[in-house]
Structure 1
């Protein structure tokens, strides 16, 4: 069984067909169709307010689309949102997964490794000796830091450097390192090229290409896609910016730890099963109950558990 798992590609293929998300005041994005293989670098390009971040969150299982279909690693959206969250990770996403400016680099890395072990580790791993657990956590941190190209020794105070003292590019590297601690199959990063010089922008894209080359599929929101990336352009956001912002804030406002999110997923699935059973048994009352069910779907523009204790990495 282990050999079969190793033969599977690490990165998650992403497929969308007529994908769209609608909020109270209109569409955040719609009619998005593309196909990206495992280990692809996908650049979500568009003007600010055009639904780029909403598309990013929908494809990582953190917002519920209303139109079309999508699959991530063979998992259908929105039906398997919880499962998609477990194989995906968020880097920086303003308002959803952000670095704490008061934390040091070491504190962020240590906390992430601890949460990863607590909520995503096997029972066998939890039963290891403390020294073995610490060594395993350190190995994960070192691996992620190296993959993100974050030179801890070059920081002003090394690992004790506060996030507020990091340059924009170094903060981006840290957020990606935190995400990679979970060894996700899909990495999502928002505002990749925001406030970066031309040289730093080139470094940022080189970093994301290296992550993709290692096998992890990368989704990156940007104002201008680089050469060689699969370019996905969102619709013009002139009439959609307020709705897109409201939807993103809704996703950020419901943050919970992974365990709670998983419990909510199970509860949601149970509720859906009960509703389906009720509709089957009460066909004679379909007209009366149908309007209520439809109303519930229309109002739920986001999936609970959008950002959790691992949401900075997107591991949910």
Structure 2
């Protein structure tokens, strides 16, 4: 039966979820948020989505975690196809702090955030058997999950100004990032997505943040991280202003093996800077159709558009705003 298949895959495969994108694109009513994104990341990979603000980085992050619906191409997360299995992808992925989507409440304390997340995890993702356990046993299980997540995120509660009672508004930027990651890890996701990883961080704090994400990837969790500048050892996906291009630029032989693009230092996959051989039928022929994504809209034609066809589209920021509005999160 279907449940047995999913369980078997979880047991046989690594904890992390492989992520594959082929001609992946998302468009709002007034323009493309991102387009022609193609890459392959193995389970436990560290994937850095870099680019300037407004270039569609966050939209790509949300689309790959099943929170936004792509309009062309296709992707798979842990073998689950997008956009057809968005709900299933959401169940195996978790978001760190994403502005406007999963923000920390500045009035809450660290302890309140952790307890709330553990309660929600148990209520919505726990088994019926777990819900029927004695209160003391449920509390012990929740505490164990919290401690595990806090340790993995490197959040030292004793070092905070008021310990667990410290309000979010009193946290330093790096501490808030660690807390948001700890909250995501309570659900033990196979895919962790983090937005604005290096925003407003000093060089030392930025190094600590990337060291944390590397440790999570090394433990088996696949990590997607939006940033302004990717570290050299990450699988790099670069979004460009205008929403019409993305780079896949592996920096090492190991990274090159993780991609499905040609073995060059910088492979263009967007419309305006692409090598025709890289963006031809081999890249775009597997794009989803209206029948697949349930919208009734044929997206196959959009895959074959050229740069000239796309010059009238609005900016990435407008496209991203419209796409977010469609999700009810604008």
TM-score of the pair, normalised by structure 2: 0.75
Residues 14, 3 of structure 1: alpha-carbon distance in 2 compared, 3 angstrom cutoff: closer
Q: Report if aligned partners of 1:47, 1:237 keep a CA contact under 8 Å in 2.
A: no
Counterpart mapping for 1:197-236 below 5 A: 197-236=202-241
Match of 2:17 among 7, 12, 22: 12
Instruction: Give 1:236 shift.
Output: 1.7
Q: Report if aligned partners of 1:17, 1:33 keep a CA contact under 8 Å in 2.
A: yes
Partner of 1:251: 327
Match of 1:46 among 38, 46, 51: 51
For these two proteins, the number of residue pairs brought into alignment is 254
Q: Report if aligned partners of 1:187, 1:217 keep a CA contact under 8 Å in 2.
A: yes
Residues 5, 250 of structure 1: alpha-carbon distance in 2 compared, 3 angstrom cutoff: closer
Instruction: Give 1:3 shift.
Output: 8.3
Partner of 1:283: none
Q: Report if aligned partners of 1:39, 1:213 keep a CA contact under 8 Å in 2.
A: yes
Q: Give unpaired runs (5+ residues) of structure 1.
A: 255-316
Confirm or deny that 1:193 pairs with 2:269. Answer: no
Q: Report if aligned partners of 2:30, 2:322 keep a CA contact under 8 Å in 1.
A: no
Give a deviation string over 1:102-135, Cα, whole Å, max 9, x none: 0000000000000000000001111111110000
Q: Report if aligned partners of 1:95, 1:248 keep a CA contact under 8 Å in 2.
A: no
SS of equivalent to 1:20: strand
Q: Give unpaired runs (5+ residues) of structure 2.
A: 244-314
Compare the two structures and name the one with the higher helix fraction.
Answer: 1
Partner of 1:171: 176
Q: Partners of 2:326 and 2:196 in 1: how far apart?
A: 19
Residues 5, 82 of structure 1: alpha-carbon distance in 2 compared, 3 angstrom cutoff: closer
Partner of 2:87: 82
TM-score of the pair, normalised by structure 1: 0.78
Q: Report if aligned partners of 2:49, 2:239 keep a CA contact under 8 Å in 1.
A: yes
